[in-house]
């Protein structure tokens, strides 16, 4: 597998540009306005990968930064569309809430569901230590 590097890796930090604006404050801009500024930087990739519980080696970070930047620039074409007053769609079919009676029933056998667990004990999933 690839080399695992922590997002907090010192070497990675040293490559960050100085005076980086806080991640949350930077607003997307179109390519026309700022042709030389990446929409997504390697620092963003590291931050977002951390949120998504992913680790990446330096090569993948660099590659992703370029590829995802391309994709986000393309996505920027959406800023040409006037969406003032347009309701967002999250679901293409009109459906109201699907209710059912709150009846107790056993859908699955506990052991069958635990059958795929990487580690289990006494009918429970086992995970590594959570707090030290």
Shortest distance, CB of residue 33 to another protein, whole angstroms?
14
Work out whether 41 is an interface residue with another protein (CB under 8 A).
Answer: no
- Name residue, tokens 């997307």: 28
Work out whether 79 is an interface residue with another protein (CB under 8 A).
Answer: yes
Shortest distance, CB of residue 7 to another protein, whole angstroms?
9
Q: Which helix (H) or strand (E) holds 58?
A: helix 58-75
Contacts of residue 89, Cβ cutoff 8 Å, sequence gap at least 6? none
Work out whether 58 is an interface residue with another protein (CB under 8 A).
Answer: no
Work out whether 13 is an interface residue with another protein (CB under 8 A).
Answer: no
Out of 87, 102, 106, 121, the only residue in the binding site for another protein (CB under 8 A) is 87
What is the rounded radius of gyration, in angstroms, for the C-alpha atoms of the chain? 23
């Amino acid at each position: 597998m690839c080399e695992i590097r922590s997002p907090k890796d010192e070497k990675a930090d040293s490559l960050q540009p100085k005076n980086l604006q806080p991640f949350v404050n930077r607003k997307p801009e179109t390519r026309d306005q700022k042709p030389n500024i990446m929409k997504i930087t390697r620092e963003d990739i590291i931050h977002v990968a951390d949120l998504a519980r992913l680790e990446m080696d330096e090569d993948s970070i660099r590659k992703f930064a370029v590829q995802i930047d391309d994709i986000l620039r393309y996505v920027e074409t959406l800023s040409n569309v006037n969406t003032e007053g347009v309701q967002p769609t999250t679901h293409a079919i009109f459906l109201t809430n699907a209710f059912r009676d709150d009846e107790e029933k056993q859908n699955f056998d506990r052991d069958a569901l635990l059958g795929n667990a990487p580690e289990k004990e006494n009918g429970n999933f086992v995970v590594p230590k959570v707090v030290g």
